[in-house]
């Protein structure tokens, strides 16, 4: 690990870069070790910048000079995540081209994405990209969807029964009443479909309810699959709607063919008769059950999708 801006400890500091003068002196130093490090790195392979911005003057300057003057065999890429900028979809779409052009003007390639978790996906996938038979995460998600669609009625019954059993397990682990256990399946086109529900059986995939995914999705299932993490949040149900619940537990489910990295391709949700805050306070008491349930669903989906 190399700290390009120095390190500050409780009782010591090593070359900290904290103010305008520090940055100015560093950028003007043609022999700075940071510049030499980045140059050597680009000789070995591509660089992916995650968590940086166009306001980082030194990194931006060094890479611009290196890419322009040294013509390294590899490129530098920068991730631009809408979530990190705090923008809504409409605003991000309006300025996306300008953001990309900023980095391209100094020789970098920009990767625009919606969620911060997308950066982690890119990093996981990099070591496999370009290998024989490689398929992008979206293509693998589409395989999961199409495989399930081909066995629609059969898995409908199986999954509905499994969700009924999971309802009992979640209720026992969290000590609350549980309602409307649901499996949401990614369709490979940026949305989740309400694939199966406890006590219900849908007849065709075309008529399934679909919801958008993303960190700012209005549905907790959409948040959970975008963040690739368990979500437990309070909800407000309309008066008169039955059954009623106070919070929703959303559990992402990961699938894979055993060769490429696993991807989040589904979410299981449970309506809970309990406030989210006290349940989160005792998360250690029920997290193992949630982890087991996610793993079991992953195995179940893999059996349909990759065998």
Other residues' Cβ atoms within 10 Å of the Cβ of residue 301 = 23
Cα 85 from Cα 131, distance rounded (Å): 33
Q: Structure pTM?
A: 0.86
What tokens does 5 get? Answer: 């801006």
- How far CA 47 is from CA of 42, 87, 103, in Å, comes to 7, 26, 14
Length of the chain, in residues: 307
Mean pLDDT of 150-161: 92
- DSSP string covering 23-71, please? HHHHHH-TT-HHHHHHHHHHHHS-EEE-S--TT-HHHHHHHHHIIIII-
* Position 268 confidence tier, pLDDT thresholds 50, 70, 90: very high
Q: Please give the CATH architecture assigned to the domain spanning 137-305.
A: 2-Layer Sandwich (3.30)
Indicate the range of 35-39, 130-134, 194-198, 236-240 predicted with least confidence: 236-240
Chain-centroid distance of CA 279 in Å reads: 24
**Interval 64-88: pLDDT, tens:** 999 999 999 999 999 999 999 999 9
Chain-centroid distance of CA 296 in Å reads: 21
**Interval 237-249: pLDDT, tens:** 666 556 678 999 9
**Interval 177-218: pLDDT, tens:** 999 999 999 999 999 999 999 988 888 888 899 999 999 999
Cα 242 from Cα 88, distance rounded (Å): 32
In this predicted structure, the answer to whether residue 55 has a pLDDT above a threshold of 80 is no
* More confident: 251 or 126: 251
**Interval 272-281: pLDDT, tens:** 999 999 999 9
- Sorted by where each begins, the domain ranges of the chain are 7-113, 137-305
What tokens does 56 get? Answer: 């980082």
* More confident: 50 or 227: 227
pLDDT of res. 237: 64
What percent of the residues of the chain are helix, what percent strand, and what percent coil, each to the nearest 5? 45, 20, 35
């Amino acid at each position: 690990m190399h700290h390009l801006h120095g390190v500050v400890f409780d009782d010591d500091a090593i070359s900290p870069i904290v103010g305008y003068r520090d940055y100015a002196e560093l950028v003007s130093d043609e022999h700075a070790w940071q510049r030499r490090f980045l140059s050597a790195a680009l000789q070995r392979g591509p660089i992916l910048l995650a968590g940086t911005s166009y306001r980082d003057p030194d990194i931006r300057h060094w890479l611009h000079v290196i890419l322009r003057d040294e013509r390294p065999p590899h490129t530098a890429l920068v991730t631009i995540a809408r979530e990190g900028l705090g923008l809504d979809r409409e605003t991000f779409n309006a300025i996306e081209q300008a953001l990309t052009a900023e980095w391209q003007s100094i020789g970098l390639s920009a990767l625009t994405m919606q969620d911060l978790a997308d950066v982690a996906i890119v990093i996981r996938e990099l070591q496999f990209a370009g290998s024989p038979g490689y398929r992008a995460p979206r293509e693998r998600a589409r395989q999961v969807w199409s495989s399930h669609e081909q066995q629609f009625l059969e898995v409908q019954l199986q999954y509905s029964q499994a969700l009924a059993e999971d309802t009992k397990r979640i209720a026992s682990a969290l000590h609350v009443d549980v309602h409307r256990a649901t499996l949401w399946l990614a369709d490979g086109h940026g949305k989740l479909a309400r694939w199966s529900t406890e006590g219900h059986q849908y007849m065709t995939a075309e008529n399934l309810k679909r919801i958008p995914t993303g960190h700012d999705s209005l549905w907790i299932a959409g948040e959970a699959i975008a963040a690739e993490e368990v979500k437990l949040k309070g909800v407000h149900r309309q008066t008169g709607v039955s059954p009623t619940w106070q919070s929703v537990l959303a559990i992402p489910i990961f699938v894979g063919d055993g060769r490429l990295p696993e991807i989040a391709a589904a979410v299981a949700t449970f309506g809970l008769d309990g406030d989210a805050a006290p349940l989160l306070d005792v998360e250690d008491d029920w997290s193992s059950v949630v982890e087991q349930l996610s793993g079991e669903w992953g195995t179940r989906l893999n059996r349909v999708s990759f065998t």
